[in-house]
Amino acid sequence: MVRNTFGGALGGPIVKNKLFFFYSYEGRRDATSTSVSRTVPLASLGQGVINYTYCPDAACNNPLPASLNLSQNQQAYADTGINQVALDALAAAAAKYPANDTSVGDQLNTSGFRFNAPTPVKLNSHVARFDYTLNSKQNIFVRLNAIYDKQVLAQRFPDTISPEVWSHPRV
pLDDT band at residue 168 under the 50/70/90 scheme: confident
Alpha carbons 15 and 50: distance in angstroms, whole number: 81
Q: What is the pLDDT of residue 170?
A: 59
For the whole prediction, is pTM greater than 0.85?
no
Alpha carbons 171 and 165: distance in angstroms, whole number: 20
The percent of residues in the chain predicted with pLDDT above 90, rounded, is 84
Q: What is the pLDDT of residue 66?
A: 93
Average the pLDDT over 45-68 and give the result.
91
Question: What is the pLDDT of the chain when averaged over all its residues?
Answer: 93
How far separated are the first and last CA of the chain, in Å rounded? 31
Do the strands 110-118 and 64-68 form a parallel or antiparallel pair, or are they unpaired? unpaired
